Amino acid sequence: MTKSDFIKSVTELLKDNVKVLVLVRIPNSGNNRNYFFMENSNELERLINESNESDSITVFKEINELNTGLVTEDFIRIVTESQVENSFDPELLIVNNNYREYKKNGSSEWNTVENVNELKEVLTDTIDEKISIISEPDFCDEQNTFHLYVPNKYGISKPGATY
């Protein structure tokens, strides 16, 4: 997908949604995944312009958001009681940040959990934070994603031996 097609597609998606889930993968970094929510096309432009060449930006067209809100003892109890299965398939993704927080911190906070015990542990660690719990989306699902490798100044994505 070209940069202009990516911007056009994601901008249209943002018109129909309050927020979209973004995954940024950074080559050659130890913690190379960042999940966060984006709320407008200005944030999209800044993200692309401030990313490094060959960074991978994936925007999900749809997500299955199971719960969202401020984590309190009641929130933990309600969420964990509603999850009766011992393991989750797919795993649950817990996203703590929006684009502004990602930009401010230079990374995002997120977790995946495989079972109710892990869910309770992560939620307990995020008391008084606003989070979203999502069925982990497949970033390789081309039907549900818009994807861009950030191009270099010549408009070329992933030139030569990028990795």
| DSSP annotation string for 116-150 | HHHHHHHHHHTTTSEEEEEEPP-TT-TTSEEEEEP
- Residue 111: what pLDDT? 95
Is the CB of residue 65 less than 8 Å from the CB of residue 95? no
Q: In the prediction, which pLDDT does 85 show?
A: 61
- Cβ pair 13, 59 in contact under 8 A: yes
* Residue 83 pLDDT: 74
Helix (H, G, I), strand (E, B) or coil at 25: strand
Contact 6, 14 (CB under 8 A): no
- pLDDT score, position 13: 97
- Residue ranges in the chain modelled with pLDDT below 50: 161-163
pLDDT of residue 155: 78
Q: For position 162, what pLDDT does the model report?
A: 44
The predicted structure's pLDDT at residue 152: 80
Phi, psi of 160 (to 5 degrees): 50, -140
The model's pLDDT over 110-152, given as tens digits with 9 standing for 90+, comes to 999 999 999 999 999 999 999 999 999 999 899 999 999 998 8
Q: What is the pTM of this model?
A: 0.89
Q: Residues 92, 112: contact at Cβ < 8 Å? A: yes
SS3 assignment, position 56 = strand
Q: For residue 93, what pLDDT is reported?
A: 96
- Please report the DSSP string for 58-117 in residue order: EEES---EEEEEE--HHHHHHHHHH--SSEEEEEEEEE--BHHHHHHHSS--EEEEEEHH
Given this model, what pLDDT does residue 156 score? 77
